[in-house]
Amino acid sequence: MKLKDYNLTAQDIKDMVSTYMIETMPRYDFVCEKAKGMYLYDTDGNAYLDFYAGIAVNSAGSCNEKVVNAIIDQAQDVMHTFNYPYTIPQALLAKRICDAIGMDKIYYQSSGSEANEAMIKLARKYGVEKYGENRYEIITAKSGFHGRTFGAMTATGQPGTAIHKDFGKLTPGFKYAEYNNLKAFEEAVSENTIAIMVEPVQGEGGVHPATMEFMRGLRKLCDEKGLLLLIDEVQTGWARTGTLMAYMDYGIKPDIVSMAKAMGGGVPIGAICATNEVAKAFTPGSHGSTYSGNALCCAASLAEVNEIIDRDLAGNAKKMGEYFREKLAEIDEVEGVDGLGLMIGVRLKTKKAADVLNKCFENGLLILTAKEKLRFLPPLNISYEKIDKGLAILKKVLDEK
């Protein structure tokens, strides 16, 4: 859609949003009319270098040609049927994903929050069916983030924040333990515990990578106690950290893994993958979703996943991430750099992250924050040239008095 087609101005669009939409997030102060590759463009044609990729979604670049063509082709055949008939993109995507990440079964959802809800439900149902009605407790990490729906919101270990505040009683059956503290998780396990659920890198919680000892220790703990290990890969998944799934960095395999964001390349799709044994707990009527496995979204996802795998964007994320983190660490104002691959958090010495974000926007660079840190989640096909261009803008902003 173009402004000229509706005889509107950019301010008209902003006014409509202010009048008719419930707003819960801050906005960059421009109307995005076009996005392509590494750039977003406003209604005057001004270009903004994209170092956030729709929050880790546009991993093969905005409006990737193969994804766009897949959407066009599929829209001319079948857009939506629900899951009564079989559809071709749904089946092809299921095989591609399960084969690529070494899991047995997949269940499609429409978002990361829904994927995490499905993961929680599957784990709890498995526990109750196998061990009895009280075996449904899940331990998650403090400062983690798992989504905005009620189960995922409760799983988010940030009590007292706006994420939890003023919603009344949250979903029962959750405990929180300190991230990267294996002993804390061991002590939190009770006779009612069925699963441990963590992110390999805490994204919204401040870009904190898990240690090797922690992740491998959790896998060992779950095996010893008969627990399920649930890995939330909504933000880390599909090559963001330098491997297709971040759990591969740690040499472990989860019982259930959730994914979304980069999986769709811009269309709303998520999923969980599980082992054969655990997947059996979802029986007819126990879970469902109207848009689960939507043909259009699956076609787009298949194109995006193929781009990520065929172009080795995981390898590029690892290589570019190392370069980016090294260059960031050389900046005087930078106190420290955290993250894996192209999931990067930057601690500053004196400046506030929110102020730096706004100044970067004014200079044509789009970034994010995570708690007190700057956060970078650029498309995974980023080049040295684009990293250097973004760094030049960041340095300019950080050098300003």
Looking up residue 118, the CATH number of its domain turns out to be: 3.40.640.10
Which residues, 6 or more positions from 108, have their beta carbon under 8 angstroms from its beta carbon?
Answer: 90, 269, 270, 271, 289, 292, 293, 294, 297, 298
Task: Please check whether residues 318 and 306 belong to one and the same domain.
Answer: no
Quote the domain boundaries for residue 275.
65-310
Burial 174-208 (b: 16+ CB within 10 A, else e): bbbbebbbbeebeebbeebbbbbbbbbbbbbbbbb
What pLDDT score was predicted for residue 262?
A: 98
Domain boundary among 293, 310, 327: 310
Instruction: Please choose, from the candidates 106, 187, 102, 109, the residue with its C-alpha nearest in 3D space to the C-alpha of residue 147.
Output: 109
Say yes or no: 228 and 320 in one domain: no
The structural domain count of the chain equals 2
Residues of the chain with pLDDT under 50: none
**In this structure, are 306 and 316 located in the same domain?**
no
Q: Are residues 145 and 240 in the same domain?
A: yes
Q: What is the DSSP letter of 83?
A: S
pLDDT at res. 186:
98
In a shared domain, residues 123 and 218 = yes
Q: Kindly state whether residues 222 and 327 are assigned to the same domain.
A: no
Give the pLDDT confidence score for residue 193 in this predicted structure.
98
The pLDDT, as a whole number, for residue 1 is 87
**Tokens coding 183:** 């002993």
pLDDT digits (tens, 9 = 90+) for 319-358: 999 999 999 999 999 999 999 999 999 999 999 999 999 9
Q: Would you say 46 and 375 are in contact if contact means Cβ atoms under 8 Å apart? A: no
Q: Are strands 47-50 and 365-366 parallel, antiparallel or unpaired?
A: parallel
Q: What is the CATH number of the domain that holds 383?
A: 3.90.1150.10
pLDDT at residue 401, as a whole number: 74
Same domain for 241 and 96, yes or no, is yes
Instruction: Tell me: do 147 and 203 sit in the same domain.
Output: yes
Structural domain ending residue among the three candidates 292, 310, 328: 310
